[in-house]
Amino acid sequence: MRILLVHNPTAGAGRPSRAEITAALERAGHRVRYVSTHEERWKEAVAGTHDLILAAGGDGTVRRAAIAIAELAGARPPLAILPLGTANNVARTLGIESRLADLADGLATGRERRLGIGITRSPRGTERFVESVGLGAIAALVRGAPAQRPPPGQRPHPDAELEIGLARLGRHLSTADRRPVRITADGIDLSGEYYLVEVLNVASIGPCVQLAPEATGAGRHLSLVLAGDREKEALEVHLGSKDGCDDRAAPIGSRQIVRVQIWWPSSDGHLDDKPWPKESSSADDGLVVVEIDSTIPLVVPGERAGSA
């Protein structure tokens, strides 16, 4: 199999390394071309001829590779994921684990499914996403994150990073103001005052917070979470008792939807792990439509021969 390895070399504290990933894939009989996401023109490599694109990194790397595939004009090679990040929310939703040897051996026998790519349409144009888009506490967490992460050697252990993220989210939530939001989902007016509004394509976002356990990422539906007073209190209790990436869903409820319309304030919001909009003025306030734009092929590795 001809594989393009799209790799974030700083994910997972730099391990497994480029050499280790490439060697494992080659031992399994694959031909590997490598590109780092730190290279300025890495997306050009995605447009080449490959049987599969392997995204090795965290959720940001998966998002970038998936959207690059979605934007191809011609045939779209399938995406596979080697999760190396802290939360790995996309991989967790898809049931993909991080054992390199199992992935390398299981690609040839993997099953193909679809990964949905979301889109926002607004006066500012269109923007695609893979995880979620939203307003409120999660957006505050994203907007308050450091512009650049420290080098791998200076970064805390992933478990400690999750604890830090959960604590920061808890503080943002506890100090958040309830704000009026005009929102319609599948023609139903759900306007109200909320601390958090999230439209999700995956089950978990941020520091491994599972808000939409029914989400599969398959592209049929999105999930909508609205947090008012009661939901805020329940989410604060949940965050306070959460142990890393446990599988407990936040007890606040979500609904599956196809299309959401939100009157979006320009001074707030996030799209996946980035502040959105990046630069704006009050003139940019306006209606944002959120829905699934397309799907791309995704390979979930099969079981390694002899594995339990």
Question: CATH number, domain at 137?
Answer: 2.60.200.40
> What's the token pair of residue 138?
């999660």
Residues 150 and 250 in one domain: yes
How confident is the model at residue 15, as a pLDDT? 87
Write the pLDDT tens digit of every residue in 126-181: 999 999 999 999 999 998 876 556 565 566 666 788 889 999 999 999 998 899 99
**Residue-wise pLDDT tens digits, 103-120:** 999 998 899 999 999 999
User: For residue 306, is it within any domain?
Assistant: no
Same domain, residue pair 163 and 263: yes
Burial of 114 (0-12, 13-18, 19+ CB in 10 A): middle
Q: Read off the pLDDT of residues 17-56 as tens digits, 9 standing for 90 and up.
A: 999 999 999 999 999 999 999 999 999 999 989 999 999 9
Residue 301 has pLDDT above 60, yes or no: yes
In a domain, 307, yes or no: no
pLDDT score, position 306: 44
Question: Are 214 and 286 found together in one domain?
Answer: yes
| Domain limit, last residue, from 87, 115, 143 | 115
168-181: pLDDT as tens digits: 999 999 998 899 99
Distances (CA, A) of 5 to 41, 238, 253, 300: 14, 37, 38, 16
Residue 47's domain spans which residues? 2-115
Residues 216 and 261: their CA atoms lie apart, in Å, by 22
**Among 36-40, 197-201, 277-281, the least confident range:** 277-281
- Would you mind telling me the total number of residues written for the chain in this entry? 308
226 pLDDT more than 60: yes
pLDDT of 194 higher than 70 = yes
